[in-house]
Amino acid sequence: MSLNLDFLDRAVAEKVQFYLDHEKNAEFRSQVVELVQKKDGASLAARSVGKLLFGTAGIRSRMEGGLARLNDLTILQVTTGFAKYIQANLPKEKWSIAIGFDGRYNSKRWSQMVANVFIHHQIKVYIFSAVAPTPVVSYAVIELQTGAGLMMTASHNPKTDNGYKAYWSNGAQIIGPHDDGICALADLYPIPAASYWDYENVQNDPLYNSADVVIDKYFAIESSLIYNKKVNEQCPIKFTYSAFHGIGRDYCIRMFREFGFKAENIVQVKEQCDPNPDFPTIPFPNPEEGARVLKLCIDTADANNSTVILANDPDADRIQLAEKQKDGEWYIFTGNQMGAVITWWMWKNFKQNNPCADFSKVYMLNSAVSSQIVRTIAKKEGFKSDVTLTGFKWMGNEAEKIRNEGNQVILSWEESIGYMPGHTLDKDGVSSAGVFAEIAAFLQVQGKTLKEKLFEIYTEYGFHLVKSTYWVVPNPSVTQTLFGDLRKDSQYPTEIGGVKVRFVRDLTIGYDNEQPFNKPKLPISTSSEMITFTLENDNVITLRASGTEPKIKYYIEMITASEKKESDLVEVEKEFLKLEDAVVQQLLNPTKYGLIAR
């Protein structure tokens, strides 16, 4: 079929023609043909220009026709690069991969397609027979000692999207040089071999194996997180659970059982517990969004006299917590508040069970834009804390590095409701569901609620109030100018809101005066703007330019002295607003730079 592409820019036309020449999926191909017939140059350019790259959590994109979208052709291209990268960088005995998939459109079918590509490269495949949570795929790489892993998921993205999350042989998501290496090889082999498209009988190949053998082992090893099984068995709390139309239900229900909770005390949000790629009952498939997406969970809980809600995101690597208060209102915890509670819990139990351990070799990790309450608790209690860039691809690899140096990492987490308390090297919403349920059971025996415990933690270690938001920039040059002014002649602001700046970390140019020789521990990125200020009173402010949108984001954490009560919160929040105003006026200066409020 000959199509006239003369209305397109030459570079776009070449990409469109290449796609039409090599895509064999009729549905995806017809989408592009229709756009050509309509002469929709803007849509064709958007779908064709740019590269699919590994970001914070793999490749994510809309499922559409075009070289810059996920579709059959681009899935085969990336997988060809992945397979050839494994061959080039691992000994032959490690030519193997664990593969999982979620319940989204195309996920299962694409998992069969990629299995076929790997097998054609003599790479042994271990694939789950049904949907499997993302953390279980990470564990499969570790348990089966495969060379790599792959999860077909877009996590909590809209229903239009899918994703390609890759793991290396340690069970953590890939970082450099693996990510760039895979993409480079994909670029070298853009035309899939004819045999890659023929995957109908891939299950019959001797290199095709089941990964289901790791499921029981996953639950067995995560049982080390159970500290009070007898208390759990007697717990009267009714928990409401939602899978958010994702794949967590079977695994989480089993995890609750492993922890000892009675089946009759686990209330399922039935409308949301079977996989459904349309996510029909929620406006957005992300439980972190709060009350507007938890309405059905709250209604179900209220109807069943349940007081605690635990909700996974669709691939079950994250967990949201909410608790009904004595006045009947629901308190929805932020990711940072959940992080404070699970930090207290993991440290309490480690210290109790390992009184003779060298605490200087015990670590907890969280991300640079998450609450630094971990750091505060670590300073007081004697264990170590460290931060990574945003994303568990950094935390998983850092955790492995620290463990290989003879230390223990007992918890890693980030503010976007992701927690890694167990044996995977990615965030785990399944084991975390069991952990948070056990915390609630333990506190119930003491006559306390989860919220009351949160404020006890704040009383002991100080309030850690966190806010993140953004301002819109009128054009990219404004972002460069603003950040350039902040670091002009290496003269950063010396005070913010009347409080002296103690440390500055500028990951764009590689400067951190808290570290020896002013060299940051975190990776630098000359292509993205990010500066963090730590004040004399330990408050932390981070400015970061969005890599995908015309925004400058800011993250503020106010840290108070200890011994403050919940009744002090109003006054603390007033001080927080003063700090935020100082950040906006002094650092962002919207009037000077023409920034637009959110």
> Catalytic residue positions?
155
d(CA 450, CA 472) in angstroms, rounded, equals 37
Separation between Cα atoms, residue 141 and residue 423, nearest integer Å: 12
Local structure of 130: helix, strand or coil: coil
Please answer whether residues 175 and 393 qualify as being in contact, where contact means their C-beta atoms are separated by less than 8 angstroms: yes
User: Do residues 261 and 239 lie in contact, with contact meaning Cβ atoms separated by under 8 Å?
Assistant: yes
On whether the CB atoms of residues 128 and 76 are closer than 8 A, the answer is no
Give the residue from 206, 222, 184, 218 showing the smallest Cα distance to 421. 222
Copy the structure tokens of residue 324: 């009904």
Packing angle, helices 429-445 and 215-222, rounded to 10: 30
Q: What are phi and psi of 208, to 5 degrees?
A: -95, 120
Beta strands at 530-535 and 499-506: parallel, antiparallel or unpaired? antiparallel
| Contact between 470 and 555 (Cβ < 8 Å) | no
Joined together, the tokens standing for residue 197 give 């498209």
Tell how far CA 179 is from the center of its chain: 17
CA distance 245 to 393: 25
How would you class 23 by CB atoms within 10 Å of its CB: exposed for 0-12, middle for 13-18, buried for 19 or more?
Answer: buried
3-state secondary structure of 256: helix
Residues 6+ apart with CB under 8 A from 572: 463, 465, 558, 560, 564
Separation between Cα atoms, residue 127 and residue 146, nearest integer Å: 12
Encoded tokens for 280: 């029909």
Side-chain half-sphere exposure of 360, counting CA atoms within 13 A: 0
CA distances from 450 to 109, 308, 566 (A): 42, 9, 14
What token pair was written down for 84? 């050839």
Tokens of 475: 């054009």
Backbone angles phi, psi at 114, to 5 degrees: -70, -35
> How far, CA to CA in Å, does 262 sit from each of 74, 224, 231, 594?
46, 19, 11, 58
Q: Residue 27, CB half-sphere, CA atoms under 13 Å: how many?
A: 6
Instruction: Give the distance from CA 150 to its chain's centroid.
Output: 15
**Residues making up the chain, counted from first to last:** 598
Q: Using alpha carbons, select from 61, 245, 313 the residue that is nearest to residue 165.
A: 61
